[in-house]
Amino acid sequence: MTRFPTAHFTKTFRANAAAVLAVLTVACGGSEPGLARGELLFDTCSPCHGDDGAGKEELGAPAIAGGSEWYLTEQLLKFRDGTRGYHHTDTEGLRMRPMSRALVEDKGDIESIVQYVVSLPIPDPPPTAEGGDAEAGEADYLELCVNCHGRDGRGMEIQKAPSLLHLNDWYMASSMRKYRDGVRGAGGDGFGALMRASMTGWTDERIDDVTAYIMTMQRLPRKVAAPPPPPLPPVDVDPAILPEGVTVAMAREGQEIFNGTTGICFTCHVREGVGGPLAPSLADDEWLNIDGEYESIVAIIIKGVEEPVEYPGMMQPRAGMPLSDEQVRAVAAYVFTLSR
């Protein structure tokens, strides 16, 4: 990728950006939130992301048209709050950050701009990278990425994993390297950390391979989200095996948390805890870090596993989710039943 920002460029750019933003504040001062305001605001985005929102490689600015509403909104908030674009070596992230700051939440700016961006046609960028072994990449994708980004690459909202199908190859590869190196995904957000864990130990070559594979995936149509997995029948528990204070109702609530929308345990441990490449089975009676008794399960969910014994990546405290103590005890009840 072209390395762009010379000191001169950066300075001129900052001056221009400030001027544009000043004009914008005046121009958009009175208009209501919505598509029309979004279109006006987009004038500040197009210098970098292009008039069609399809991105500009020379500025490291990716396609944003084709992104889904929830993802675009969250990323703008992350840039604004500094959970993205926080690292001093993140040239592109630092270029984007002030732009997100200029959007005024009270005026519905984020909502308006996102509404406009999702109204744009979905770009279909051609591959630009040379090399990259798509076949090797496919094996990695099917093993490591499908749980979150889906078999079809369209992403899954419950995992906060975006669609990859509109993205430029140079941007995907650069983002994966950033996750690996802690330049993205280590700013304190749980979902970014999950993606980061997936990149642990990856070489640049492996990243190029998986990128090459993603570029071969069916690129259209892309706005429809992948269907959610079918619901599981309520876990069948013999109350006699449960330790004191643990109920069948707790195990059932825990089943929802483990496999469903509240928790994200299954993204690594796979549905029903059978284990996968990122995390061990919780359904056998072999334990790596604990003795498998109920309290030991509660404790490890609260603490996480910073240095796994066998598996790559890590497990964050409470899996990086805002789980209450009751929810932790419920999910632990479910895990307890899996191995028994």
Task: Identify residues 15-74 at the interface with ligand HEC (CB under 6 A).
Answer: 41, 44-45, 47-49, 59-62, 64, 67, 72
Cβ closer to ligand HEC: 123 or 280?
280
Cβ of residue 305: shortest distance to ligand HEC, in angstroms? 4
- Phi first, then psi, for residue 315 (nearest 5°) are -115, 125
Cβ closer to ligand HEC: 147 or 230?
147
Cβ of residue 193: shortest distance to ligand HEC, in angstroms? 8
Q: Does 270 bind ligand HEC (CB under 6 A)?
A: no
As beta bridge partners, residue 305 has 315
Cβ of residue 268: shortest distance to ligand HEC, in angstroms? 3
> Cβ–Cβ contacts within 10 Å for residue 215, how many?
22
Q: Does 300 bind ligand HEC (CB under 6 A)?
A: yes
Q: For ligand HEC, which stretch binds (CB under 6 A), given 1-9, 121-129, 194-202, 223-231?
A: 194-202
Q: How far is CA 195 from CA 28, 67, 130, 191, 212, in A?
A: 37, 17, 25, 7, 19
Question: Can you tell me whether residue 195 is helix, strand or coil?
Answer: helix
Residue 159 CB contacts under 8 Å (≥ 6 apart), including other chains: 147, 148, 191, 194, 264, 267
Say how many residues touch ligand HEC, by CB under 6 A: 77
Q: Does 97 bind ligand HEC (CB under 6 A)?
A: no
Binding residue for ligand HEC, selected from 251, 313, 336, 337, defined by CB under 6 A = 313
Cβ of residue 240: shortest distance to ligand HEC, in angstroms? 22
Cβ closer to ligand HEC: 140 or 248?
140
Q: How far is CA 245 from CA 10, 248, 249, 333, in A?
A: 61, 10, 11, 10
Binding residue for ligand HEC, selected from 176, 215, 250, 338, defined by CB under 6 A = 176
Q: Does 92 bind ligand HEC (CB under 6 A)?
A: yes
Per-residue mark of binding to ligand HEC, 108-137 (x: CB under 6 A)? -----x------------------------
**Counting beta carbons within 10 angstroms of the beta carbon of residue 210, is it exposed (0 to 12), middle (13 to 18) or buried (19 or more)?**
buried
CB–CB of 306/210 below 8 Å?
no
SS3 content of the chain, % helix, strand, coil (to 5): 50, 0, 45
Q: What is the C-alpha radius of gyration for the chain, rounded to an integer number of angstroms?
A: 22
Binding residue for ligand HEC, selected from 125, 132, 162, 276, defined by CB under 6 A = 162
Cβ of residue 261: shortest distance to ligand HEC, in angstroms? 13
Q: For ligand HEC, which stretch binds (CB under 6 A), given 25-33, 120-128, 230-238, 280-288?
A: 280-288
Residue 172 CB contacts under 8 Å (≥ 6 apart), including other chains: 164, 211, 214
